[in-house]
């Protein structure tokens, strides 16, 4: 069942070959048909995430051509077979859409987040992917507890700002890293007690914890921070390596975990922490409750037209962004 009249073609960003931001081409493509259990959404905004730079450049292999983007918000304009949980006209957001860098995208109904009244439908695209990530990292990958010391890298980034606030709300002390004075100030405002540079941070974390080290390091920067992240941990501490904005971490000798104090290391991914509609809903409910309670705030640092997605990728890869960047059709 589909609302009429819907266009048969639309504009979207398409990637035909791996490469730099210039391979993101604004072009005409067909409007996708929602399959069983899916809806068609008219895009209000697509969320920009670091993973799309890995997919574009070929760090993550993708079948070509493809339309990037899994995060977006908008209005439901089409229902695939068997969908009854949402209605035409509902405003939704998701981290699990297919090709959200487009005027229309499809998404599985079980991965839709209802957008609470009071949240702007455009801004709603700022929450799902980085919000669900920040949630699973501190609630499930390493359940952060009151009194613990947590190191969050890229503290002024999309995930970093949210994760810092969520850890502080649980009573943890957050130390973060960031590259510029402006970013350091943003991270402090999110609740970081101290914001450090990307070199020499391990020694400072140790000093700040009476020589013990952090209980957990949330590291989405990867290659440049990995070694010092390990050095920042206390005995039996955990390194959560969840990304590589500076590059991927090269192969690693597991014996190092032994010598460094029986450390734990994990490399988690959002898809495995949102496997069911129930799990996604639980995480979303906690996030939206925190937004409503005022213990969580999100920052839209920039908006770009979708047709200029290449410029948005350049900014993200050149460390010029803070918080969330949105792409508008």
Binding interface with ligand NDP (CB under 6 A): 49-51, 129-130, 133, 154, 156-160, 178-179, 183, 220-221, 224, 242-246, 268-270, 316-317, 319, 321
Nearest distance from C-beta of residue 38 to ligand NDP, angstroms: 22
Nearest distance from C-beta of residue 318 to ligand NDP, angstroms: 7
Pairwise CA distance, residues 307 & 301, whole Å: 18
Residue with smaller CB distance to ligand NDP, 90 or 224: 224
Nearest distance from C-beta of residue 109 to ligand NDP, angstroms: 22
Q: State the CB neighbour count (10 A cutoff) for residue 263.
A: 19
SS3 113: strand
Nearest distance from C-beta of residue 149 to ligand NDP, angstroms: 20
Residue with smaller CB distance to ligand NDP, 67 or 126: 126
Residue with smaller CB distance to ligand NDP, 149 or 177: 177
Do 263 and 236 meet the contact criterion of CB atoms below 8 Å apart?
yes
Nearest distance from C-beta of residue 255 to ligand NDP, angstroms: 25
Q: Dump the DSSP string for 184-207.
A: HHHHHHTT-SEEE-SSSHHHHHHH
Q: How far is CA 28 from CA 6, 13, 242, 267, 305, in A?
A: 15, 9, 34, 37, 16
Nearest distance from C-beta of residue 202 to ligand NDP, angstroms: 16
Residue with smaller CB distance to ligand NDP, 87 or 269: 269
DSSP 157: B
Nearest distance from C-beta of residue 175 to ligand NDP, angstroms: 14
Nearest distance from C-beta of residue 160 to ligand NDP, angstroms: 5
Pairwise CA distance, residues 35 & 158, whole Å: 31
Residue with smaller CB distance to ligand NDP, 4 or 318: 318
Pairwise CA distance, residues 249 & 25, whole Å: 30
Residue with smaller CB distance to ligand NDP, 224 or 231: 224
SS3 15: strand
Residue with smaller CB distance to ligand NDP, 23 or 196: 196
Do 202 and 172 meet the contact criterion of CB atoms below 8 Å apart?
no
Pairwise CA distance, residues 80 & 60, whole Å: 29
User: Which tokens is 6 given?
Assistant: 């819907």
H-assigned helices in 137-247: 158-169, 181-189, 201-208, 226-231
Pairwise CA distance, residues 268 & 35, whole Å: 29
Residue with smaller CB distance to ligand NDP, 34 or 131: 131
């Amino acid at each position: 069942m589909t609302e009429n009249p819907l266009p048969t073609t639309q504009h979207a960003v398409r990637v035909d070959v791996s490469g730099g931001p210039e391979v993101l081409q604004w072009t005409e493509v067909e409007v996708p048909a929602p399959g069983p259990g899916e809806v068609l959404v008219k895009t209000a905004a697509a969320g920009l995430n670091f993973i799309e730079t890995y997919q574009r450049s070929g760090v993550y292999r993708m079948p070509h051509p493809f339309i990037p983007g899994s995060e977006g918000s908008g209005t439901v304009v089409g229902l695939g077979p068997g969908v009854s949980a949402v209605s035409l006209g509902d405003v939704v957001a998701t981290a699990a859409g297919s090709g959200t860098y487009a005027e229309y995208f499809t998404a599985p109904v079980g991965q839709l987040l209802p957008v609470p009244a009071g949240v702007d439908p455009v801004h709603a695209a700022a929450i799902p992917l980085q919000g669900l990530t920040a949630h699973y990292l501190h609630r499930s990958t390493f359940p952060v507890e009151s009194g613990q010391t947590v190191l969050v890298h890229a503290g002024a980034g999309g995930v970093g700002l949210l994760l810092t606030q969520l850890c502080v709300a649980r009573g943890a002390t957050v130390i973060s890293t960031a590259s510029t004075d402006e970013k350091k100030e943003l991270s402090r405002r999110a609740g970081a007690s101290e914001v450090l540079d990307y070199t020499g941070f391990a020694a400072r974390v140790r000093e700040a914890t009476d020589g013990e080290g952090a209980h957990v390091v949330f590291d989405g920067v990867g290659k440049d921070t990995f070694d010092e992240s390990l050095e920042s941990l206390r005995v039996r501490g955990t390194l959560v390596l969840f990304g590589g904005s500076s590059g991927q971490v090269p192969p690693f000798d597991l014996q190092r975990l032994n010598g460094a104090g029986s450390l734990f290391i994990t490399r988690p991914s959002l898809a495995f922490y949102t496997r069911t509609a129930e799990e996604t809903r639980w995480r979303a409910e906690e996030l939206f409750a925190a937004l409503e309670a005022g213990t969580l705030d999100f920052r839209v640092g920039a908006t770009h037209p979708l047709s200029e997605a290449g410029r948005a990728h350049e900014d993200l890869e050149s460390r010029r962004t803070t918080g969330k960047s949105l792409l508008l059709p």
